[in-house]
Structure 1
Amino acid sequence: MSRNGLERMFSLSGKTALVTGARTGIGQAIAVALAEAGADVVLLGHQDNMQETERLVAETGRRHRTVLLDLADPSAAAAGVQGLLAEERIDILVNNAGIIRRAPAVQYRERDWYDVMNVNLHALFWLTQAVAKPMLERRQGKIIHIASVLSFQGGILVPAYTASKHAVAGLTKALANEWAALGVQVNAIAPGYVATNNTEALRKDPDRNEAIRSRIPAGRWGEPADIAGAAVFLASPASDYVNGHVLVVDGGWLAR
């Protein structure tokens, strides 16, 4: 394959991507990587503090737009994106937004359970449904969910997060079964232990930090940039025959 052919295979030129939870961490890294691959980017967050991500996207030369939408209210997710869909053709959806609440299962609060499920699963589904409708009409689109290694394992002290990420992996396969023949690829990325806001408590605990790091064959925590390449692949023409897959990016954690 020629260099030009390889570049076309991974090019996102002419595409527009919507990335949720794009302010920091994995979402920010994915948004910037998609822009570097040629996509214009819509940055979705619930607070008006997207300036750093906006600057990084702008430095790639691609257009960006910020949308404020609180995914803690799942019923508002689909309604809140309708104005955007009337103005923008969304070719790529990355459902990255997520929260985590830690507590022993026997002490877990009802509010925390529903808060996690609302953001990580319910809003994800309703937002995906809304964005997918025009994709299906065009018979073209890419949807990428951010799952987790806890889509395969139980974790410790995170029952709601684990349940939500198992559900995201299952939903990825269910949607792929319905939409693959209609030109819309639905896949997921399952990051391992990545240095983000969600894992700050673990990294600050010396015992847990060392226990996790020492179990990772790569010998280190992941960085948000480690997830970005997988997202570009799943958003690009290179993955047109990849459907319903949960791509693990974990430094070898699950192989241990």
Structure 2
Amino acid sequence: MKNKYKLSLPLLFTCIIWLAPANLVKGMPVTIDNGTPDLIDAKPSDFDYTPSLFGLQKQSADDFLLTDETTINSIEWWGIYFSSNTASASDNFTIRIFPDTAGVPASTTSISPLIGTLTQTDTGDDFTVSSLFFNGTFDVYKYSLTLDTPPNLATGSYWLSIVNDTTNEIDDWFWSTSNASGNAHGRVNDGDSWTFGIGNEMAFNLQGSVTSNTTNPVPEPSILTLISLGLLAIRRRLFSS
């Protein structure tokens, strides 16, 4: 009488699937979500802002990572108007993407300022400041920008800088934070080094798409995989005999 062997098909199939390369199809949606406002803090990012105890920087930037070559199609972010809660009649944002240099933004940008169709919406959320220096409540606004000329970015780390210019407006613009612990940086003027470690995450997200068809490298087979494939061969021989 022939011996009967029971082999684990689920294990074999799992190993085979594990070996299959992951294909990324051109046009596949990509979302970089850096969080929504935490309603706890906001940082100045305004060319018309005068550095003070509320922040030493005029320009703020936060990092993001692309794991595949990506075209950025739209950007969303949040902010407030400080200090009288008076929204700008006409926002004048400068939005730039800086390459990463040893964990901080480069001093100059390799990508021209991003332009497109901007919408501003009052979210209905409020941000309240209560301190020894100032007390007040601010409306939180959401901004959406659909880019006229979407940039194509290679895999790697980048920094998003969003700076308003409220010249001739009543209030300065502050970028909402999404987390108290983060890697955002600031500086005063164009060309300066980004020397101010803000220590927060800024509230924004990016929408884009994979630029080209890619296949992730197949990992080296583990000992477990080789054994499983050997067991599969044995099983085939048993059934054929």
Interval of TM-score (by shorter of Structure 1 and Structure 2)? under 0.3
TM normalised by structure 1 equals: 0.25
| Structure having the larger proportion of residues in helix | 1
| Structure having the larger proportion of residues in strand | 2
TM normalised by structure 2 equals: 0.26
